[in-house]
Amino acid sequence: MHVGGWNLFFLIAFIVYVSIRGIFDRQTKNVEKVITRVDTLERVLLTTVGVASILLPLLYLFTPWLAFADYRRREFVPWCGAPILVGALGLFWRSHADLGQNWSISLELRKGHQLVTHGVYGPVRHPMYAAILLWDVGQGLLIENWLAGWSALVTFVVMCVLRIPREEQMMCASFGDAYHVYMRKTGRLFPRLR
């Protein structure tokens, strides 16, 4: 067991992260899905990201199985990781709250789906993915294990590269001009400078 010190901090933040997902999952689960673009690629991506961001950190914390990939980091590194993790949790919660009943884990649209352009969706189109990327950086800086620390970031970057264009295409097909206008005003993961 690796639970103590910074690992304990990570575990507590991890429980908050999973709980945020759980709360909003429960809020949306009865809202019917009317469009779904969940194909084999999407399923493979979701499974890979799930293994890297949930299973591997738990195996690292509670079993010795990943010890072959342990390493020693400099002392200041987790001090950088901790505020990143906390910031990621704030943005993760805020983006879930702003998206409300329109959230789903995959490429889907729900009955009465509305285009959200307020709150954290004002300056960026994918604040939730930005939050998850930040979280993954924090995870890498806090966990002293190459596999459990960094594979979440690697797999989620791949997911973003493959999924974001598909998601935007789905949103354009459903919301037409409104989404095109929104795209012109916003950045994907970072606010536009101009």
Rule CB under 6 A: say whether 36 interacts with ligand SAH: no
Segment contacting ligand SAH by CB under 6 A, of 12-20, 60-68, 103-111, 136-144: 103-111
**Identity of the residue, 95 or 139, whose beta carbon is nearer to ligand SAH in the bound complex:** 95
Distance of alpha carbon 54 from alpha carbon 60, whole angstroms: 10
CB of 80 to ligand SAH, least distance (A): 24
CA-CA-CA-CA torsion sign (115, 156, 142, 54): positive
Q: Tokens at residue 46, please?
A: 């979701």
d(C-alpha 86, C-alpha 45), whole Å: 25
**Could you say which of 7, 53, 104, 145 contacts ligand SAH (CB under 6 A)?**
104
Interface with ligand SAH includes 129 (CB under 6 A)? yes
From 43-51, 68-76, 106-114, 147-155, give the range in contact with ligand SAH by CB under 6 A: 106-114
Calculated CA dihedral for residues 162, 31, 152, 159, nearest 10 degrees: 0
Which burial class, exposed, middle or buried, applies to 71 when counting CB atoms under 10 A from its CB (0-12, 13-18, 19+)?
Answer: exposed
CB of residue 49 vs ligand SAH: minimum separation in angstroms? 13
Interaction pattern, residues 164-193, with ligand SAH; x per rule: CB under 6 A = ---x---x----------------------
The DSSP symbol for 37 reads -
Q: What are phi and psi of 176, to 5 degrees?
A: 50, -130
Residues that bind ligand SAH (CB under 6 A): 95, 99, 102-104, 107-109, 115-116, 121, 126-129, 167, 171
